[in-house]
Every structure is written in structure tokens, then in C-alpha cells.
Amino acid sequence: MFTQRDEQPSASGLDARTVERRLRRRAEAIERDELEAAFSALDARRELTTAERERLERLADDIVDGILAPPEAALERAADRDDETARAVAELFDLDAPSN
């Protein structure tokens, strides 16, 4: 038996796995852009060592992973059964557009 919720497509048209992939891609793109800007600014003062660059990259990865952990966990729990969670995350992070 279909409920009214089952008959309606999600507002975003995205499933939880798609939203999770888009969220990760968006965060990684921001991370890359911010690291490039930081490296450029720091290199203007003095050239960073390989160890310093690697440490900054790990720091950025850890920050992104920490921020994404709660929404990704919610999306994993919601996969195949909860369009509302996917819709909410997509809206919060503006992930409806395919280019995101």
C-alpha cells in the first residue's frame, strides 16, 4: 500500500547516496580552493616545506571529515528509506543543482 509520502518524489529529486556524493565533492572542492589560497599566501612570505604542506593538507582533511561526519552518517542511515533526510541535507548545503 502506498502512502501519500511514497507517491510524492522528493523535492530535491535526489536520493541519500547522491546527496552524500555531492556533499563530499562540494567540501573537497572548497578544501582544495582554500588550501591553494593558503599555500599561495604562505609561500609569498617564505616557501613552505613539504612537511608543512602535508601537515596543512592533513589539517584541512581532518576539518572537512569532522564537519561532514554528522550529515554523512545521517545520509547513510537514511539510504533507501528516508527522502526527508536527503532533502534536508541537500537544501542545507544547496546541493540540488547537478553541478554541485
Residues 6+ apart with CB under 8 A from 53: 39
pLDDT band at 4 (very low <50, low <70, confident <90, very high): very low
Say whether pLDDT at 7 is over 70.
Answer: no
**Residue-averaged pLDDT of the chain:** 85
27 CB neighbour count, 10 Å cutoff? 18
Rounded average pLDDT over 64-70:
97
pLDDT band at 99 (very low <50, low <70, confident <90, very high): low
pLDDT, tens digit, 9 for 90 and up, residues 20-66: 999 999 999 999 999 999 999 999 999 999 999 999 999 999 999 99
Q: State the Cα–Cα distance between residues 75 and 85, nearest whole angstrom.
A: 7
Predicted local confidence at residue 98, as pLDDT: 59
